[in-house]
Amino acid sequence: MNKVAIVTGSAGGLGKGIAERLCKDGFRVVLHDINEALLNKTVSEFEEKNFRVIGVKGDVSKREDQFNLVKKAVAAFGRLDVFVNNAGIDAVSPFLEITEEQLNRLFNINVNGVVFGTQAAAEQFIKQETKGKIINACSIAGHESFEMLGTYSATKHAVKSFTHSAAKELAKYKITVNAYCPGVAKTKMWDRIDEEMVKYSDDLKPGEAFEKFSSEIALKRYQTPEDVANLVSFLASDDSDYITGQAILTDGGLVYR
């Protein structure tokens, strides 16, 4: 295989799991993150496994950085086939305590980053005159709004909307746009969510917020990076060529849409 994929926010967490799966699928992968030290560590780890990767530091909230990311991928590997808009952040707070800073930060990264990444990838696919796949990180919070996660939920609803709009407009170029919607995973993001929810609760103890969400999963276990990577692997493959504009839940049975 000579296909090339970019995965933003892939130095750790779900992004790292997605990048590793795509490497195993035979992709040449561009790892990306704003945390340069962690990015370099992940690149070295992947190179030790004989994966064909490069690392690019960047800030997804900056349009110039997203276009530069694509340029570096093409300079290194000659083409682009898949762009995974994975990078994102969370915030936990009561609705009445949502601040201007919180709104701006989460929308800049979670929403603007997806828009800029989609634009950069689509421009390259059109230039190549090839089909292309854009895969966005949505969430169960893009289907259902959760208390204490108002801003995060709003950004993920926006990601779902942009996925739909982009899919409709880019279909004529044979570019598909889909999203994966994870649920409750044992990641650093969920560790932070748990920690913050405890701060705002008189009843919860550390770990209990995570356990509360996990206990409601029909398949009776929390999510792993591999669970998410399995879906992204399919969306990145030729087998998904007839699927576009979808925000697919991968949550073990938690939110039903």
Question: Could you list the active site residues?
Answer: 152
- Residue 33 pairs in a beta bridge with 57
Phi-psi region of 252 (alpha: psi -120 to 50; beta: other; left: phi over 0): left
- Give one word for 243, left, alpha or beta, with left for phi > 0 and alpha for psi -120 to 50: beta
CA distance 152 to 254: 18
3-state DSSP: the chain helix, strand, coil percent, rounded to 5? 50, 15, 30
Measure the CA–CA gap between 157 and 161, rounded to whole angstroms.
Answer: 6
Residue 21's identity, in one-letter code, is: R
> CA distances (Å), 108 to each of 29, 62, 70, 111, 206, in order?
25, 8, 19, 6, 30
